[in-house]
């Protein structure tokens, strides 16, 4: 197992290195000198020169990269061009929002996928199965932001069940916080739920064709028990992988979901920084989300190796 972990982590090192190089280049590929961007169009030449020296922009690029990486590793992601706040502080405030949204969306996705896929398999080739497959195709094709708009219109403006947008920290007011998270979680969870339903349905059908299922049937095990105890359980392992792979979808979807529902999360922070051309924050946010994505992918592979010994020894 240790060798497997070591190999998987070693694989990620060159990728992470290249990610940092690419992200570092963001600031240096931007049109115009960051010092000009910071000081505005009316800056004096010596002001610019002083700021360039202060930011280290007058040093050779490899040196700048090394210095920057040194800061990043120590958790210093730089300061916002706009308001001078340390980026790490901005992320610190934003990530709990995105995390609660992601957990909500995950629950929605699992809550959709398990019952739907089991129903589809149980009533294979009936209208229930066809309806599930149709629903999955439509849900997968529907953009997050349109689901969001439809939800706000139906559940908030017409039925008045939920407030249309906003955010309250769960620790501050759990009831209101949860109410505000329901619609965003549905909007973000639908697409992943669709992917998961399709995947689970196919995997369960596949396991149903296995020898051990035939043995169970031959022993006289009732059909529902065959389905739940024998087939569905073995289909669970790959779910981990699918969910891990969908993390990127969640991150991207979070940007759009947070934009519609006014959630002050990581996605919205990135969006606002891109619109405001606050490159320091954009750079830090792209780096942070990508590193998180790479780490989640490693964790997914490791989980998979842990759950299925065939992978580790393969």
Which residue in 2, 10, 29, 171 binds other proteins (CB under 8 A)? Answer: 29
Distance CA 246, CA 263 (A): 21
Chain-centroid distance, C-alpha 107: 14
Residues 6+ positions from 306 with CB-CB distance below 8 Å: 1, 312
For CA atoms 88, 90, 91, 95, give the dihedral sign.
positive
Q: Is 13 in the site for other proteins (CB under 8 A)?
A: no
Distance CA 137, CA 143 (A): 12
Measured CA to CA in angstroms, residue 71 lies from 26, 65, 75 at distances of 16, 10, 6
Find the part of the chain contacting other proteins (CB under 8 A) among 63-71, 119-127, 150-158, 301-309: 150-158
Q: Which is nearer to other proteins, 221 or 291 (CB)?
A: 291
**Vertex 116, ends 307 and 237: CA angle to 5°?**
5
Q: Which is nearer to other proteins, 113 or 282 (CB)?
A: 282
Residue count at the site for other proteins (CB under 8 A)?
50
Minimum CB separation of residue 230 from other proteins in Å reads: 28
Q: Which is nearer to other proteins, 18 or 236 (CB)?
A: 18
Binding mask 253-272 for other proteins (x = CB under 8 A): --xx--xx---------xx-
Minimum CB separation of residue 38 from other proteins in Å reads: 16
CB 51 within 8 A of CB 38: yes
Q: Which is nearer to other proteins, 146 or 161 (CB)?
A: 146
Considering only residues 67-126, where is the footprint of other proteins by CB under 8 A? none
Chain-centroid distance, C-alpha 278: 22
CB 167 within 8 A of CB 262: yes
For other proteins, the binding residues (CB under 8 A) are 14-16, 18-19, 22-23, 26, 29-31, 137-138, 140-146, 148-150, 152-153, 157, 164, 247-249, 251-252, 255-256, 259-260, 270-271, 273-275, 277, 279, 282, 285-286, 289-290, 293-294
């Amino acid at each position: 197992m240790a060798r497997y972990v070591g190999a998987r982590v070693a694989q990620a090192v060159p990728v992470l290195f290249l990610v940092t190089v690419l992200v570092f280049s963001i600031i240096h590929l931007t049109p115009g000198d960051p010092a000009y961007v910071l000081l505005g169009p009316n800056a004096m030449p010596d002001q610019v020169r002083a700021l360039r020296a202060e930011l280290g922009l007058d040093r050779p690029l490899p040196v700048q990269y090394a210095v920057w990486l040194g800061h990043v590793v120590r958790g210093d992601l730089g300061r916002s061009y706009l308001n001078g706040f340390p980026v790490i502080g901005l992320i610190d405030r934003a990530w709990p929002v995105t995390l609660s949204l992601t957990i909500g969306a995950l629950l929605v996705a699992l809550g959709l996928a398990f019952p739907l896929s089991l129903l589809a398999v149980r009533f294979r080739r009936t209208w229930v199965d066809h309806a599930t497959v149709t629903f999955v195709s439509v849900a997968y094709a529907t953009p997050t932001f349109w689901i969001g708009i439809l939800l706000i219109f139906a559940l908030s403006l017409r039925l008045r069940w939920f407030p249309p947008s906003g955010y309250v920290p769960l620790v501050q007011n759990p009831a209101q916080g949860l109410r505000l998270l329901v619609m965003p979680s549905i909007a973000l969870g639908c697409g992943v739920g669709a992917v998961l339903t399709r995947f689970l349905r196919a995997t369960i059908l596949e396991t149903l064709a296995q020898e051990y299922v035939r043995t169970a049937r031959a022993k006289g095990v009732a059909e529902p028990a065959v389905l739940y105890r024998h087939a569905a359980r073995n289909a669970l392992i790959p779910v981990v992988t699918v969910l891990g792979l969908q993390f990127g979808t969640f991150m991207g979807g979070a940007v759009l979901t947070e934009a519609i529902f006014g959630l002050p999360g990581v996605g919205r922070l990135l969006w606002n920084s891109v619109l405001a051309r606050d490159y320091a924050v954009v750079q830090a946010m792209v780096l942070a989300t990508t590193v998180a994505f790479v780490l989640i992918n490693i964790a997914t592979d490791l989980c998979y190796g842990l759950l299925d010994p065939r992978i580790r020894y393969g």
